[in-house]
Structures are given as structure tokens and as C-alpha cells.
Amino acid sequence: MKTIKTIDSAQYVYAFTPEMAPVSHIAPGEMVRFDALDALGGQVRAETDILAGLDFDRVNPATGPITIDGAKPGDTLSVTLHSIEMDEQGAIVTGPGMGVLGDEMTSYATRMLPIRNAAVEFGGLKLPVRPMVGVIGVATETGRYATGTAHRHGGNMDTKEIGVGSTVYLPVSQDGAQLAMGDVHAVMGDGEVCVSACEVAARIVVETAVLKATRLAWPMVETSERIHVLVSLPTIEEALIEATRCAVSLLQRAHGLSKEDAYMLASLAVDIGVSQLVDPNKTAKASIPKYALPGPLTDWLSGQDWRGDG
């Protein structure tokens, strides 16, 4: 069995920047465990703990960052999620001004959510758990992005496909990549419409690899059946258009198609959807079935410059 290095939840950041001080390092292929606080910073312990009383400077801690040996600008970092072990209780919060219908909310509300027997309990409902990582990213090329914001480096993409068995691909902009993650949800619907999901502390075991000389325009997530291109921009309309453009460009280049044929293929096979609607940048996803792509992702992606996608 591979040795697992642990990054303690006391080692975290609140922003992704070009200059991030690593707390540890690993070689590609080495297993590492990120112990993550919940996105509320451990401040919600009862239903009397409402958003209005929280210290927002403690929201969205991301454990890390860690250096991945040999990762260089122009590479792509792949992160495969092997397991997510959660605490036995999570929380969800909302209130006035929060989320898609925030203007219609007149009071703050918190619900504590027991997690038992592979289900999240909400009132009398039992929702099947689907653990996912909300925040995962690397050092930025330029600019400071709070961990609550997503962009080309990753960050708070809140994409439910980032779960056990999936692989996240992130564009490397700085030596060592500087990987950090957190904001685990036990379950979340597309949109995360009320501003939070089932926020829970967790332990995340991942394995990394480095694809050399592979420039991505935006992060991607690979699941057993699909490749998802994740685009995060100030409005959801901008993000949806850019995600569509990326999918068309990817199909065009992967198959050697004309832009018109790739556009039509995307209309036949690609699903354009929403990951989250509540963070400063909204995240859209273009979901491409693997049957529409020429073999394994790493076979045709490696050694290419995909910055033209966006």
C-alpha cells in the first residue's frame, strides 16, 4: 500500500495567489490526505448559529497548499479523488440576500444535518450522500482570488462531479502547482441555490500526476462516462457561452473537424449545465460524453496547448 502523507486542517489558506507558501510537498503518484474544515470554518454547531453571526473572514478555508514536485508552468496537474471520509453531521445555512432567491428571504435559517447510513437527514427526508469537493485549485498566473471564488485556477467551482473516482485537471501556472482544497459537501444539487449545501468537515485522499506541456484554458473533470469543462465568470450567461465555446473547440481539435461540424456535434452530444449560481464568479459546465471523444483523455490532451479554447 502507498504511504499517505497527511495535511492537517490547521494548515489552510483563504486565497489562491501567484506566490503561495507550501506547507508540504509530494512526488507525482504519491497519495496525500487533506484534512478539511467545513466551509463555515467550524462556526456552526447548532441551529442558533446563523449567517448573520458568522465571521466571514473564516469562511471557505482550503487546506494546503502543497507543492507537487516537477510541476511547471505550462503543465496540467491531474488530481484523482480516491476517498472522502466525512464527519457525522453537517449544516446548511441561508438568509436575506443569500443565493438565487436571497431578495425573497426575510429571515436567517440554519439546519443541522445528521449524516447516517449513507444518507443526509433533512426533516423527514433521507437524501443519498454524494460527497464532493467544492474548492480545489492551484496558484494563479496573476491576481489574487479568494477561496470563495472560482476562475481558471480552479477554486470554489462547487461542481458535484468532483467526487470519489473522478479526476480533476488544473492548469499549472507556478512551479510546484501549489494544490489546496476544502469545502466538502455531503450532498448538493446543481446551482447550490440557497448559498450553501450540506457543509461538512472531511478527510480527502487524492493522488496527483503531471501532464507535461499541456495548457488548459479552464479546469476539466473526468468521470467514468464524461469530460466536464468548468468555466467560472462573473455572470452565468458569460460562463455558459464560454463553456459552449470550449466544448466546440475541444471537439474540433480532438477530431480535426471544421468549426461548423464541431458546433453541430456539440449540439447533438454535449450537455451545457450549471454547477453553481451563488459565488462571485458563476460556474457553468460543458459535459462531453466519452463516446464523442477519440479515446482516453490523456492520449489526445497531452502535449497540446488548449489555451485557444478560451
| Structure confidence at residue 310 (pLDDT) | 42
- pTM greater than the 0.75 cutoff: yes
- Asked if 158 and 167 count as a contact pair (C-beta separation under 8 A), the reply is no
Q: Domain segments of the chain: what residues?
A: 4-216, 220-309
| Structure confidence at residue 297 (pLDDT) | 78
Instruction: Tell me the three state secondary structure of residue 217.
Output: coil
Question: What residues are paired with 167 via a beta bridge?
Answer: 80, 222
| Structure confidence at residue 4 (pLDDT) | 87
| Structure confidence at residue 213 (pLDDT) | 84
The CB density around residue 242, as the number of other CB atoms within 10 Å, is 20
Q: Return d(Cα 297, Cα 277) in angstroms, integer.
A: 28
| Rounded alpha-carbon distances, angstroms, from residue 282 to 10, 234, 237, 255, 279 | 28, 6, 9, 30, 6
| Structure confidence at residue 307 (pLDDT) | 62
Could you give the count of Cα atoms lying within 13 Å of 282 in the half-sphere of its Cβ? 21
**CATH superfamily ID and name for 220-309:** Acetamidase/Formamidase-like domains (3.10.28.20)
CATH of 4-216, one of 2.60.300.12, 3.40.50.720, 2.60.120.580, 1.10.10.60: 2.60.120.580
| Structure confidence at residue 65 (pLDDT) | 98
Place of cell 450553501: 196
| Structure confidence at residue 308 (pLDDT) | 52
Residue 225: which residues within 8 A CB-CB, separation 6 or more? 289, 290
Place of cell 423527514: 124
Average pLDDT along the chain, 310 residues, taken 10 residues at a time: 84 98 96 97 97 94 98 96 98 98 98 98 97 98 97 98 98 98 98 98 97 90 97 98 95 93 98 98 98 82 60
